[in-house]
Every structure is written in C-alpha cells, then in structure tokens.
Amino acid sequence: MADSDGPSIFIVDDDPSVRDALSVVFDVEGFTVVSFENGDDFLEAVKTTPPDCVLLDVHMPGRSGLEILKALDVGTFPAPVFVISGQGDIPMAVNAIKLGAIDFIEKPFDADTVVGRVRDAIATKSARSGHHEHDFPGADLLTPRERDVLREITAGASNKEAGRRLGISPRTIEVHRARIMEKLGARNAADLVRIVLTASTGEHG
C-alpha cells in the first residue's frame, strides 16, 4: 500500500477498469492515489487538497476533460496535468495542451512509461520551485511548462532531446514551441533565442 509520504496523484476517469488499473500501478510505486469518476468531484477535491500530479481522461459524461481543464485554470494550478486519450483523440489532446496540460498519454498505455513520465513531471516541477529566470518581454504570458520547454530550446535541445528531459513527447514539444513563438512574437527558433538571451545578458537592440 502507498504511504502518506509518497507523492499524491489524482486519477479522473469514468471507466472503472482504467481507474483501477492506474490506481494499482501507482499504489505499488508508492504514490498516494485518489480516483474520481467525474470531473466535478475532482474540481471540488482540489479546492482543499492539491495533488502532486493529475491524470485526466478527455472523454467523460458530463463535463469533458477539456472543460475541466478550463475550469481548473491550469496556468495557475500547481500540479502537472496529463490527459488520457485514445488514438482518435489526438487533436483533442493537442487542444488540451493548449489549455495547459503538459502532455497526453495514449491508450492503451504502458504502466512503466506512465509512471516514468509522471515522476519526471513532478521532479521538473520541484526543480523549478523557487527558481526564477531573467524576465524577458512576454515572459509573464508563458505557462510554467512553456518556460521549461523554452529553456530547453534556448539551450539548443532538439524536440526529441527536450521531450526526453521533460518527460513529454516530441510532438508535444512542437505544440509548446509554436505556442511560445506565437506569444513572444518570434519568427523562428533563432529569433526566440535572441529574445531570451538579450534579456538575460542585459543587452538591447
């Protein structure tokens, strides 16, 4: 059984077999697991008990995973949120990332892979706590995850390398990169690096 000192994970899925399977996997790995069959119960719970990570199904009766993300305001929510989707839901999963989810996990999923990605996401969040980069124009527009991706891009990492380090897929890195460039008004990756490095070195022009 999980002990109360382990990281907490909230699983939101209307399918009891999925909830049970994920609960067993994370319980064995030492997580404190709380599962919900609908988004409204989950939203009520996080008001008083924020988890360390969330696994949120895209398709649910009542409010969908996307609607729950909007209600949650993921940009200010302290825990990373993964969305669970079937292969046919990829466009919806990409929309979820635009709403602030850090990545999507496709069904059927591999238990070890899911646990690894959750651990990476929690570790990245912990490493970022209390760490502030030099501000640059538009920095306040970026979500914490977009800042993580931007840091990898400006360090010269490829989408694959950045994805591996952050525990997310290269496709998700591409989505974040496009969003970052749009928010910062960058024309290309080189322009993006210039915007950030100019601010960090105190140069202008």
Q: What pLDDT is recorded for position 3?
A: 44
Residue with tokens 């030492």: 30
What's the pLDDT at 204?
45
Tell me the two tokens of residue 117.
Answer: 């990605």
User: For the chain, how long is the longest CA-to-CA vector?
Assistant: 58
| pTM for this model (two decimals) | 0.66
pLDDT of residue 2: 39
The domain ranges of the chain are: 8-128, 139-201
Query: How do the pLDDT tens digits run along the chain, 205 residues long?
Result: 434 568 999 999 999 999 999 999 999 999 999 999 999 999 999 999 989 999 999 888 888 899 999 998 877 788 999 998 876 677 787 788 888 888 888 888 888 889 998 998 888 776 655 444 556 777 878 888 888 898 888 777 889 999 998 888 999 999 999 999 898 888 877 777 777 766 655 544 4
Q: Give, to the nearest 10 degrees, the angle between helix 144-154 and helix 111-128.
A: 90
Domain boundaries 8-128, CATH class: alpha beta
The rounded distance, in Å, linking the Cα atoms of 145 and 122 is 12
Q: What is the pLDDT of residue 17?
A: 93
Read off the tokens for 111: 């238990």
Q: Check: CB of residue 117 under 8 Å from CB of residue 160.
A: no
Of the candidates 12, 111, 119, 2, which has an alpha carbon nearest to the alpha carbon of residue 57?
12
Q: What is the CATH number of domain 139-201?
A: 1.10.10.10
Does the CA dihedral 26-27-31-34 come out positive or negative? Answer: positive
Q: What is the pLDDT of residue 42?
A: 96
Q: Which residue has the tokens 């322009």?
A: 191
- Report the C-alpha gap between 118 and 26 in whole angstroms: 10
**CA gap 46, 85 in Å, rounded:** 22
pLDDT of residue 130: 47
